[in-house]
Structure 1
Amino acid sequence: MGGTDTDVIVVGAGPVGLMLAGELRLGGADVAVYERLDAPSGQSRGLGVTARAAEVFRQRGLLARFGEVETSRQGHFGGIPLDFGVLEGSHFGVRGLPQDRIERMLEDWALELGAHVLRGHNVTGLRATDDAVTAVIDGPDGRVERTAPYLVGCDGGQSTVRRAAGFTFPGTDATREMYLADVAGRGIRPRPTGERVPGGMVMSAPLGDGLDRIIVCPHGTPPPSAGQRTPGFAEVADAWERLTGESLHGADAPWVSSFTDATRHVTEYRRGRVLLAGDAAHVHLPAGGQGMSVGVQDAVNLGWKLAATVAGHAPAGLLDTYHAERHPVGARLLRNTRAQGTLYLGDAEIEPLRTVMGELMRIPEVGRHLSGVVSGLDIRHDVGPGDHPLLGARMPDRPLILPDGRRTRIFDLLHQARGVLVTTDRTGRVNAQAAAWTGRVDIVTADWPETDDDPWPRTDSALIRPDGHLVWAEPGGGDLDAALRRWFGCAPTSQKGERCIAL
């Protein structure tokens, strides 16, 4: 690392920063995570993950660390019921999985892999050159500077990294303030998809152990003049009583917070050697519980690409595909949360729109589209030429039968964040063609169990990126050699000076 302290500096030890740290370590990069808080806050703005985020955790063998989890095919779009089961293998997401529990699991995982997580270290500024990035850090021993070839800001909606590196962050300002609180011992009636009442909207859901999460969205409450604030519980209880007629005054509230409908999105996810992920890159109304999930997916898209870049074997342009692939996902996130906000929070004049949307959502094609948008299961990237129906999409967790009769699944093969080539070819042709990449791609000969109701298109062979997206397939997936070069660089055994494909 001559002249640097680590390969990658990650700023922020929330779910996004910790997921990225683990991904980088799987790719062989050294990583230091700097977090301003001395200890995890224990707060959980998010209470679950979307279907695709749950798949991402399963791809790394992490979902099992939570034990039994609850999923449901019944969800909503802006409070209007939506059946997510119209998509094969889909569900609304994993419920009852608080953000602080996800953070603890991810920190344990990142530490096991050898990441350095330094708490009580506040990154206050940075200097970037053509060769490296230096972070200015206030820590327990005073101010220090640490340098790395790359730095990633995962430090939330008020990102210091975003401001210090000069990222442009356009969008719409907040128009209202809303509240949330965890309330103990009151047995509040569940309103899981929201209830529109005169003067606003309220939600409530049991968290277990006598605790309920409430969200209060009054009409006409102006946003704070200077960023996010923490209201007193009396203010939240007053608003709840005005909207519901129910008094929560005097209850215990271990956590109280507020949020707004501000919507902003950086114009670029990368500026030279500084990158952004999660809320540092996109802020929005927390509709549908998508924010943390999209941030985790940002980290998984970026991690293997950045690790390959640090290692020196990434093909030209690989790191630029992070912005090219994730910026459209962020833009769609902001569109759908703004649309949901209109349906959720609009006054009586929105009721005709809600009625029409409810009718449309009962049309199977509309239901499939919205389910794909909110779950993240329909994300498809431009991965090169080919006409296989799954090309560029996430590879489903299909079962496999190995030559010795043992059974496994696609996601089991992705635990180490390496490329995977699955082939049914017994002639050795595919294996021989990919053999030079075995240092970066695991080659698995197997069969797909055939059933009468198999929903997936015929796939004799499949090349899968570390983030689970299909980049080549037979039949119809294009040239295997070109796909291997495009995503995994020149073969480790290639001749010196051999040209790799630029993305």
Structure 2
Amino acid sequence: MMMKYEAVIIGGGPVGFMLASELAMAGVGTCVIERLEKPVPHSKALTLHPRTLELLEMRGILERFVSKGSKIPTGHFSMLDTRLDFSGLDTSCPYTLLLPQSKTEKLLEDHARSLGTEVFRGAEALAVTENGEAVQTIFKDRDGSVRTITSKFAVGADGAGSTVRKQAKIEFPGTDSTVTAALGDVVLLSPPPSGVLSLCTKEGGVMIVPLSSDRYRVVVISPYRTQMPKDVPVTEKELRADLLRICGTDFGLTDPSWMSRFGNAARQAKRYRDGRIFLAGDAAHIHFPAGGQGLNVGLQDAMNLGWKLAAAIKGSAPSWLLDSYHDERHPAAEGLLRNTEAQTNLIDFTQAGLHLRSMMSELLAFPDVNRYVAGQISALDVRYEADRTMPPNRLNGARLPDMKLILSDGNSERLYSFLQNGTFVLLSLRQEADDHIEVKGLRTVTASLAEPNEKLRDVHTILIRPDGHVAWAVDASAPDCSEVIQKGISRWFSVTSRV
């Protein structure tokens, strides 16, 4: 049976459903092909970081996630004693949200379906090929029938062993695991007093975080088991013994619902695009799960790619836009891999390693150092290369935090409320600005700031992308300000034929 969609996503995890939501919101006919008939009950990832929470807030769905999770105002770097302080970061979401991946996935799948995404569960992608004009995806449905979908684009969000990446012959260079660790989702009859524990001694490292009222995630890195093959099952006895040795107690560990072993393999796809085929999430990059960054970076991939694919499909994308996905997200994941490698190297239980950890923990106590590292872990410091066709500006390529605006009619609104439908926003901070610019996919807002902001002090107009990054900003002092603004709009809204 031949089927037609404008976009096909292979992989129905959080990244795939986030991307599907972005495309469906833009009116793109989208389907998701997922191998599993039902979502897995256990969760690899547990946290959503500030930048990811901002993205959810931009789409007006943040509260759905917050209502099912727990806010934690700190993060960690390599399980060091000094915590990362998110509470002082320049964001409307100065915290980590503790939320099991299974719940994140369910919320995103429900959202994608509500917007019109069709989901094929229990379906296996057999072949994904493109001919320059379209992509053909052959898959086996849950009833055993073989179906073919023709689409304009296909995205592999199908994990580290990505079928899409392999069939597109995209290289996945990197390093194999040299260290393994164990985790278990368990009941603790005598949990740590605060429910949270991070400890590293010569006997090993332990991290404990609550999953529910009685269940906890226990992660153990034992110097005696770092070479244990990943396929060797973790046992309850092993976790108890390691906790007792490292912490002096096993916290009454019992009733494991899921146990797993993981390693520090680190790989990144050489390119994120091959013609009409794209990669996102673990299909594009894998790493040691230090700091809980993997899921977050994948969701940020989806947010970057979604509006670009939609613009290309609708015929409003300039010719260079799709290539910018690789240009922007590949460096972001490179930074992630460097960061997690540094954290892995700091997990050293020798005397010299413990001394180094102590010194790094002392450095994190300096506010500027803490803020710098927190900005990296939270992804709030990610910025993209500035548009070189526009005059230089300190805001170009950076994310724009949410802020309160006073509109020309005297009413107030939050900036992110204007991004809920995924369009560009042209924010004019001068009352004399031309608010009659009419471009499809562009919302013009004339406003003033409710509170002083030094970064925006001389700014006349900002073009804000659907993902909340600044396409360009023009200062009021810029020569030929109006002409420069018109040029910038034309640059980002060059109408092309539908692809």
> Moved runs in structure 1, 4+ residues, more than 6 A?
none
Give the corresponding residue for 1:122: 124
Native 8 Å contact 1:200 1:347 kept in 2: no
> 1:36 & 1:230 partners in 2: Cα distance?
24
**1:227-274: CA deviations, max 9, x gaps?**
667534444444444544544788211122221111111111111111
**Equivalent of 1:196 in 191, 195, 200:** 200
Give the 3 Å change call, closer, same or farther, for CA 233–125 of structure 1 in structure 2.
Answer: farther
Native 8 Å contact 2:201 2:349 kept in 1: no
- Does residue 468 (structure 1) correspond to residue 471 (structure 2)? The answer is no
Give the corresponding residue for 1:500: none
> 1:228 & 1:301 partners in 2: Cα distance?
35
Give the 3 Å change call, closer, same or farther, for CA 366–198 of structure 1 in structure 2.
Answer: closer
Structure 1 counterpart of 2:417, one-letter code: D
**1:78-127: CA deviations, max 9, x gaps?**
22323334532376633321111111111111111111111101113322
Native 8 Å contact 2:195 2:210 kept in 1: no
1:381 is displaced (CA, Å) by 1.1
- Does residue 149 (structure 1) correspond to residue 148 (structure 2)? The answer is no
Give the corresponding residue for 2:33: 34
Native 8 Å contact 1:266 1:282 kept in 2: yes
**1:360-381: CA deviations, max 9, x gaps?**
3334433332121111111111
**1:267-322: CA deviations, max 9, x gaps?**
11111111111111111111111111110000000000011111222101100000
> 1:236 & 1:158 partners in 2: Cα distance?
28
Give the corresponding residue for 1:442: 443
1:176 is displaced (CA, Å) by 2.2
Native 8 Å contact 1:75 1:92 kept in 2: no
- Does residue 405 (structure 1) correspond to residue 410 (structure 2)? The answer is yes
1:220 is displaced (CA, Å) by 4.1
**1:176-204: CA deviations, max 9, x gaps?**
22111111252322674621133321111
Structure 2 counterpart of 1:448, one-letter code: L
SS at 1:334 equivalent: helix
**1:459-485: CA deviations, max 9, x gaps?**
332210001011222316872223223
Give the 3 Å change call, closer, same or farther, for CA 371–27 of structure 1 in structure 2.
Answer: same
Native 8 Å contact 2:74 2:96 kept in 1: no
Give the corresponding residue for 1:206: 210
Native 8 Å contact 2:188 2:253 kept in 1: no
- Does residue 309 (structure 1) correspond to residue 308 (structure 2)? The answer is no
1:72 is displaced (CA, Å) by 4.1
Structure 1 counterpart of 2:363, one-letter code: L
Give the corresponding residue for 1:425: 430
SS at 2:76 equivalent: strand
SS at 1:416 equivalent: coil
1:388 is displaced (CA, Å) by 2.9
Native 8 Å contact 1:48 1:93 kept in 2: no
Give the 3 Å change call, closer, same or farther, for CA 127–233 of structure 1 in structure 2.
Answer: farther
> 1:403 & 1:106 partners in 2: Cα distance?
35
Give the corresponding residue for 2:492: 487
Give the corresponding residue for 2:114: 112
Structure 1 counterpart of 2:60, one-letter code: G
TM-score using structure 2 length: 0.90
- Does residue 355 (structure 1) correspond to residue 354 (structure 2)? The answer is no
Greater Cα offset, 85-94 or 480-489: 85-94
Give the 3 Å change call, closer, same or farther, for CA 155–372 of structure 1 in structure 2.
Answer: same
- Does residue 219 (structure 1) correspond to residue 218 (structure 2)? The answer is no
SS at 1:431 equivalent: coil
Native 8 Å contact 2:425 2:445 kept in 1: yes
Structure 2 counterpart of 1:308, one-letter code: A
Percent identity over the alignment is: 37
Native 8 Å contact 1:191 1:202 kept in 2: no
Give the corresponding residue for 1:18: 17
> 2:290 & 2:112 partners in 1: Cα distance?
29
> 2:246 & 2:486 partners in 1: Cα distance?
62
Greater Cα offset, 397-406 or 372-381: 397-406
> 1:197 & 1:415 partners in 2: Cα distance?
47
> 1:263 & 1:130 partners in 2: Cα distance?
31
SS at 2:413 equivalent: strand
Give the corresponding residue for 1:98: 100
1:67 is displaced (CA, Å) by 4.6
Native 8 Å contact 1:194 1:344 kept in 2: no
Unaligned runs of 5+ in 2: none
1:224 is displaced (CA, Å) by 6.4
> 1:146 & 1:361 partners in 2: Cα distance?
52
> 1:174 & 1:265 partners in 2: Cα distance?
14
SS at 1:108 equivalent: helix
Q: How does 1:220-299 map to 2 (within 5 A)?
A: 220-221=224-225, 231-247=234-250, 251-299=254-302
SS at 1:396 equivalent: coil
> 2:337 & 2:359 partners in 1: Cα distance?
22
> 1:77 & 1:301 partners in 2: Cα distance?
26
Greater Cα offset, 348-357 or 165-174: 348-357
Native 8 Å contact 1:111 1:117 kept in 2: yes
Native 8 Å contact 2:32 2:118 kept in 1: yes
1:6 is displaced (CA, Å) by 0.6
